[in-house]
Amino acid sequence: MIPIVCIVGRSKSGKTTLIEQLIPEFIRRGYRVATIKHHVANFEIDHEGKDSWRHKKAGAQTVVISSPKRVALVEDVSQDFPLDELAARFIREADIIIAEGFKRDRHPKVEVFRKGVHPHPLASELENLIAVVSDEPLQMEVPCLSLNDVTGVVDIIEERVLSKHRDR
């Protein structure tokens, strides 16, 4: 099993922006990174008019596109899948999986919090919270880091998520 950490937080709190900063720092430290993004609503991917888009439009339930440099898949499903199942089915050759969202999942979590977006963090509702990243200091039971302390966040994930996996 590849270790998984979830970056959670309310809408517009800056989850994607944090993940964009975490990925290059993990890569700098020698990790291969995969991500899993949760969408609550349906989403569009692929471009209108492309061959793969036309296959899907014609009714294919699953469309795979394969080239020597990239593989892609679009599949219609009838349920929301848990992280473990998505990871097991789709991800190989990664050292860490950073998930965006999945706040009700059991995996370790970092919450992104911005006072300007919402007055209170989700923290108390979250199982397995290991840190909060915030635009202002908070009194928490877990470490609270500044929004731009990317190395600090990666340090905590290495210590709390990756080293435990190595020890197993």
Which residues contact a second copy by CB under 8 A?
16, 19-21, 23-24, 27, 32-47, 50-52, 54-55, 57-81, 86, 90-91, 93-94, 98, 100
> Could you give the CA distance from residue 53 to residue 145 in angstroms, rounded to a whole number?
43
Stretch (H or E) spanning 131? strand 129-134
Taking the complex as a whole, how short is the minimal distance between the CB of residue 104 and a second copy, in angstroms? 13
DSSP state letter for 123: G
Question: Residue 25 Cβ, how far from a second copy at the closest point, in Å?
Answer: 10
- Minimal distance in Å, beta carbon 96 to a second copy? 10
Indicate the residue among 83 and 144 with the shorter CB distance to a second copy: 83
- Is the CB of 81 or the CB of 118 nearer to a second copy? 81
For 119, half-sphere exposure in the C-beta direction (CA atoms, 13 angstrom radius) is 0
CB of 139 vs a second copy, minimal distance in Å: 30
Angle at 152 between CA 146 and CA 154, to 5 degrees: 120
SS3 state of residue 140: coil
Residue whose CB is less far from a second copy, 46 or 149: 46
Among residues 75 and 136, whose Cβ is nearest to a second copy?
75
The candidate with the shortest Cα–Cα distance to 100, out of 24, 34, 151, is 34
